[in-house]
């Protein structure tokens, strides 16, 4: 059985996978077995779709329909290949500008960030497949539809994707409280990947180690941190001013 953003049941999920539906991730009951579940796992592996074993109670909370131990989440957002996005930008004579989100998990933050990315000239958003907010109807609504217009590149290995971007000539700039450069002093011109971190833990150490520059947002208040969607909007606006809209 299917809803707007979920497909429940072994054979409906198999049909969705066989038909090439844009499946974002799968939840499979830990004890689930049989030929159908085995095929689902193989199809997920073939299509590079993440799946997670979960207790049946989690599945029961998500839907009142008969799920048979399997739920597939559909995304309204079409995925695109990062290398292709960068190559196409170069071919159009544009300077690639990628916004990378290191495990942003709140759907409303994801939507708000996508809206800012659309407004400030980002070519694409780069997000990990696991440990990130769902790109379902709630995220699309929060983005005011920007997620349907702005390319999204979902990857299994976030750091590998950053390395691939670097190989195509992009610098990696991470916005973090650990930054040694203030936003006013940072160079945000040229081919660029701008990395923003998760709500709770910020940018991972692995990403910070590979960044070319670490940038902080100067603040005068006592709290010392900003919501990630607000921080992203501030940094993207600063980047747009430096880049003079030539993105």
pLDDT tens digits for 180-198?
A: 899 999 999 999 999 999 9
Q: Is the pLDDT of residue 211 over 80?
A: yes
Q: Are residues 90 and 177 in the same domain?
A: yes
Is the residue at 99 inside a domain? Answer: yes
Mean pLDDT of 161-168: 97
What's the whole-number average pLDDT of the chain? 91
Q: Which of 15, 41, 74 is the last residue of a domain?
A: 74
Do the Cβ atoms of 51 and 156 come closer than 8 Å? no
Mean pLDDT of 198-202: 88
Is the residue at 11 inside a domain? Answer: yes
The range of the structural domain enclosing residue 111 comes to: 82-243
Instruction: Return the higher-pLDDT residue of 233 and 130.
Output: 233
Is the residue at 222 inside a domain? Answer: yes
| Centroid of chain to Cα 145 | 16
Which CATH number characterizes residue 225's domain?
3.40.1280.10
Q: Is the pLDDT of residue 247 over 50?
A: no
Do the Cβ atoms of 79 and 56 come closer than 8 Å? no
Residue with tokens 């942003």: 104
Q: Can you give the pLDDT at residue 4?
A: 59
The pTM of this model reads 0.83
Q: Are residues 69 and 95 in the same domain?
A: no
Mean pLDDT of 34-63: 92
Do the Cβ atoms of 75 and 153 come closer than 8 Å? no
Q: Which of 38, 55, 74 is the last residue of a domain?
A: 74
Total domains in the chain come to: 2
Q: Are residues 121 and 155 in the same domain?
A: yes
pLDDT tens digits for 4-25?
A: 588 999 999 999 899 888 888 8
Report the percentage of the chain scoring pLDDT > 90.
Answer: 71
Q: CB within 8 A of 137, min separation 6: which ones?
A: 4, 5, 76
Q: Are residues 151 and 238 in the same domain?
A: yes
| Centroid of chain to Cα 237 | 20
Q: Are residues 102 and 212 in the same domain?
A: yes
Q: How confident is the model at residue 246 (pLDDT cuts 50, 70, 90)?
A: very low
Which CATH number characterizes residue 12's domain?
3.30.1330.30
Report the percentage of the chain scoring pLDDT > 70.
Answer: 97
Degrees (nearest 5) of the Cα angle 91, 95, 99? 115
Mean pLDDT of 28-51: 92
């Amino acid at each position: 059985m299917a809803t707007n953003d979920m497909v429940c049941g072994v054979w409906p999920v198999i049909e969705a996978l066989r038909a090439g539906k844009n499946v974002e991730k799968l939840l499979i009951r830990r004890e689930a077995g049989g030929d159908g579940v085995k095929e689902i796992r193989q199809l997920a592996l073939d299509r590079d779709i993440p799946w997670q074993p979960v207790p049946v109670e989690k599945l029961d909370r998500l839907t009142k329909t008969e799920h048979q131990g399997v739920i597939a989440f559909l995304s309204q957002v079409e995925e695109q290949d990062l290398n292709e996005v960068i190559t196409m930008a170069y071919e159009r004579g544009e300077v690639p500008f990628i916004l990378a989100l290191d495990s942003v998990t709140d759907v409303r933050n994801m939507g708000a960030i996508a809206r800012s990315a659309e407004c400030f000239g980002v070519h694409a958003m780069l997000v990990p497949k696991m440990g990130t907010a769902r790109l379902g109807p709630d995220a699309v609504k929060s983005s005011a539809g920007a997620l349907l217009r702005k390319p999204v590149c979902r990857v299994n290995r976030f750091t590998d994707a950053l390395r691939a971007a670097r190989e195509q000539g992009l610098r990696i700039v991470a916005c973090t409280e650990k930054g040694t450069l203030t936003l006013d002093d940072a160079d945000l011109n040229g081919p660029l990947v701008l990395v923003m971190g998760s709500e709770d833990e910020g940018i991972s150490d692995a990403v910070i180690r590979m960044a070319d520059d670490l940038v902080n947002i100067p603040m005068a208040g006592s709290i010392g941190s900003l919501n990630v969607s607000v921080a992203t909007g501030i940094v993207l606006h600063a980047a747009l001013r430096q880049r003079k809209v030539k993105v």
